[in-house]
Structures are given as C-alpha cells and as structure tokens.
Structure 1
C-alpha cells in the first residue's frame, strides 16, 4: 500500500471516531463531502489552530482566506490565520444566493450548516458581520440567535460629526 493510501485510510478511520454513530450519522457524509480532511491539534487562546500530532482530531474546512477547524465532540472552532468570517462565505456575494427571491441563510450551528449542504453560512467571527453582510439584500436567521445578529449588525464606530456654522462675513 502506498504512503498516500495509508494516510487516506488512517484519515477515514479517524473520521469515524468524530461523531457518535460513525458512518450511520448523517453528518458523517456531509463532513466527507465538504471538508478538506482532518488534523490533530489544539485551539490556542487567540482562537487560532496549533497543529500537534498528540492533540485531538479536528475537521478542516477550506475557505478563501483561511482554514477553519471544527471539533465536533466539543463544538470548538479555530482558524489557521484568524481571517475567516464564515463557513460558506462565498455565498454572500454570489448572485445565485438571492435569485428568485432567495435569502442568505445563517445557521446557528456548524451541524446545521453541514446538513444544509453548503447552501447557507455559519458565522465564525461576529465582529466582521456588519462589514460582510451589510450589502446582502435578504438574510434568513435561525430563531435562536436573532439578538446576536442584530447586536452585531451595527458599524463598529461612527465618525464624530461637526456641523460648520455659516460665516456671516461670507454672506455680506
């Protein structure tokens, strides 16, 4: 057996340990379809992933600007570079997302995102929400986090505004 085949077999066996019920769990098929594989490591205090062959197993998802790591047993999420906003982020600017009165659905869990078959997003970093979502024409939310959404859909800061008084000399 080649080295690559052994690695693929080992990775497949590791994925079976990720979820209760192994292959019979419906999330198992979604993980296989959407993930880039698995890695071992730990989540650092800054939210970044530290690779360590002695660490627990994480599922890896590739996003345009970052890799996102998810540990199904605990729900922990980490990123490689700290740049990812959401899983499925490319849907935000995809015209097909909103065609025929479609909405950008935001899931409250990664499990929900997986079961939605990549037709929604899961937000990782809510501090970026206003900048990333403000141009979305329609957004659908899971009921249990409407408050979080509305809390973060405000600009981080607004400029201080000064109103100039008319100078009486200019009109004389």
Structure 2
C-alpha cells in the first residue's frame, strides 16, 4: 500500500514540474539588454523637440505627419533614442490610422504598461532599454496576430536592410 502511494507521489511530482529551459533562455536574452539612463538635460540635448515630447513626455505626434508612415522598404525600425531594434518591416501594415503600425514587436525589446490618460484603459508601449514612450497596442490588428502596435514615427529610426 505504501509502495503504491510512494509511486503515485513521485509521478505526481514529475507531472507538476515545468520545463524552464525556454524561460531561462528568454530571461537571459532580456538580461543582455543594457539599460540606458540619462538625465532630462541629456535627453533634451540628444533628441529633437518632437522626439523628446514623444519619447520622454509620452506625447503623440500629429496623425499622418511621420516620414516613416509610407516606407515600404525592408529594414528595421529602432528606438530613436537608444537604437534598440523594436519592429521589423515585414510586420508593418497600413492601418489607416495615420501612424506606423505593426502586428508584432521584436520580442523582449518592447515593454508594456497600462495607462488611463484619456479616460479608459490602454496598453502603452515603451522601449525596454531606455524607457522611451512608443505608442499603444490595440486588439484590432490583422488576422496574423490580432494586434495593432500604433507607434509614433518620431519614436523610431528606420534602417534599411542591405
């Protein structure tokens, strides 16, 4: 009787254990991103007034004003403040909203938070390295992921692939 109970306990223990090799790999990847911290004066000196307003003060650029809105070339969209790669051109789509939109991020490089600034809950996106405000993510994107990452072009820098 005790032998059956012991065997059952061991089996239950093994079934309750989770494999963590993938989680450890992801955690290691995230840890390799060195945080960038600067004073407000340093950010003001580095960024244009529009970039500073968007990235450091969580502002929003005017719709349809971004030079990046209609780029169709292959490349990477990086943080304009710290050059962290955030989005791939292959995940960009025309949303009609007036801001560059993507259906996914480069995993681990974008952080998410909740804001209620306009009276209702929205998911805000930040650069995971420097904390710069990027935009918001909504659940009305294309069927690929269902997500629409609505990003201020002023928060991004585009680098075409060779």
The two structures have a TM-score, normalised by structure 2, of 0.22
Which structure's residues are more often helix, by fraction? Answer: 1
The TM-score normalised by the length of structure 1 is 0.21
